[in-house]
Amino acid sequence: MYVVERFARFADDCRKRPIAPNVLHHAKRAVIDWYAALLPGAVVPPAVLLERALAGELDLGDSHLALGRRATVRTAALINGAAAHALEVDDIFRQGIYHPGAPTIAAALAVAQSRRASGEQFLRAVIVGYEISTRIAAAMGRAHYRYWHNTGTIGCFGAASAAAELLGLDRRRFAHALAAVATFSAGLQQAFRADSMSKPMHAGRAAEAGVTAALAAAEGLTGSLDIMEGEAGFGRAMGGDPDWERALATLDKDFHITQMTFKNHACCGHAFAAIDGALALKARMGVAVEEIARVRVGGYRATLEVAGIADPATAAEARFSTPYLVATALTHGSVRLAAFEPARLGDAATRSLMRRVEMALDPDLDAAFPAQRAARVAIESRDGRRGEHLQPTRKGDPDLPLSDAELEHKYFELASPVLGEEQARALLARLWKLEREPRP
């Protein structure tokens, strides 16, 4: 069997048995975290610009945007997918260097609404999308991440899988949905190495592409079933030579949706360990910001290359600037959405400290990437004190996870300003009981 056929067999087998309670709980956590990212992202570019650009596809159809406006199924997937990735607060699958929620859940919700699916059917589709796409992401590895943005390139598989599950595609058509969407895979890292709105579009386009491929496969459209492992296929063209057997080995045994990273900072995840380490070291040393003479950050390569913008001029650049992010954390105590408001971006104390943050590649930490996301931080004070700290993981990673209460706190912080506290609480209560939602 080809790789896409084996994934399709997994999805078909999953339909025949109940969802394990632990997997179900983590699926609901993923959906709650997705809404926490979606709602604030829905009221800023590029989502608001897409609503204007695609006005002819809105106010009709059976799917909905974040704040309830009707849309066609593909347009809802596109705009919601982009919104959920816009503010850099969406989930991560560490081993795959991949944000699965933004494209996968956007596609699942759009199709679930259009097909009037139950809450359990929706959650099952999310799980299937996560399990298939995270394994593809892990298989493609660092070779793929050199130029490509995995959320765009791999996200289309999560979206197609979730959509195919909700459409009830049989094994053959499910496999063809995956085979077809492979040719839509796109998303270049250069899009976020400078000021740009393109990065969230990768997640939105992946969601739309997955829905398109699944809908077309349902009507009989076929793809090349050897698209993943073929001589000119996805694996060799866009990575190195992925080990598909290893990727498939734990399928249906080890559920990756239980191993998500939920972000604790509103920025690029490659800066998280440096932020956490700097805050921990500052507290341990008892040093005030104005006493800090120098901060040194040793990290893995992506911390420097992806999140290493030295002098950010815009919010988009600041989210990918470890010097700025460490400086604003040390100055203000956290990296939340307020860190990217104009007043904070121009804050003199933050800017001054940012210029004293030095970055270097740490070969040992780089060798452990992507399975481990660590940073080595040193702070020197003006009176000669020096402290060092190894931050071995990030708050929010599977080995240092956000509790349910911490996840709820994140959700309220991000959702309440958009929905209002009462509506935000009502939505959260509904999401925790989503498996009980009947078909409309």
To which CATH superfamily is domain 269-391 assigned? 2-methylcitrate dehydratase PrpD (3.30.1330.120)
Give pTM, 2 decimals: 0.96
- The pLDDT assigned to 193 comes to 84
On the question of pLDDT at 58 being above 80, the answer is yes
Q: What is the band of 278 on the pLDDT scale with cuts at 50, 70, 90?
A: very high
On the question of pLDDT at 195 being above 90, the answer is no
Chain-wide mean pLDDT for the chain?
96
Q: What is the band of 393 on the pLDDT scale with cuts at 50, 70, 90?
A: very high
Question: For a pLDDT cut of 70, what percent of the chain falls above it?
Answer: 100
183 DSSP 8-state letter: G
- The pLDDT assigned to 61 comes to 95
- The pLDDT assigned to 149 comes to 96
H or E stretch covering 200: helix 198-218
CATH 1.10.4100.10 corresponds to the domain 3-264+402-436: yes
Give the amino acid at 217.
A
- What is the spatial distance between Cα 124 and Cα 345, in angstroms, rounded to a whole number? 41
Query: CA torsion sign, 89 to 147 to 246 to 400?
Result: negative
Sequence-ordered list of residues with C-beta below 8 angstroms from that of 16, at least 6 positions apart, any chain: none
- The pLDDT assigned to 97 comes to 95
Sorted by where each begins, the domain ranges of the chain are 3-264+402-436, 269-391
On the question of pLDDT at 392 being above 90, the answer is yes
pLDDT digits (tens, 9 = 90+) for 38-47: 999 999 999 9
Could you tell me the CA-to-CA distances from 301 to 42, 119, 154, 258 in Å, in that order? 32, 41, 21, 27
On the question of pLDDT at 440 being above 80, the answer is no
pLDDT digits (tens, 9 = 90+) for 297-334: 999 999 999 999 999 999 999 999 999 999 999 999 99
- The pLDDT assigned to 226 comes to 98
pLDDT digits (tens, 9 = 90+) for 361-389: 999 999 999 999 999 999 999 999 999 99
Q: Are 263 and 273 in contact (CB under 8 A)?
A: no
Question: For a pLDDT cut of 90, what percent of the chain falls above it?
Answer: 97
3-264+402-436 and 269-391 agree in CATH topology:
no
Q: What is the band of 240 on the pLDDT scale with cuts at 50, 70, 90?
A: confident
Q: Where are the beta strands (DSSP E) in 321-407?
A: 357-361, 375-381, 386-391
- What is the spatial distance between Cα 237 and Cα 13, in angstroms, rounded to a whole number? 30
pLDDT digits (tens, 9 = 90+) for 74-108: 999 999 999 999 999 999 999 999 999 999 999 99
- The pLDDT assigned to 267 comes to 96
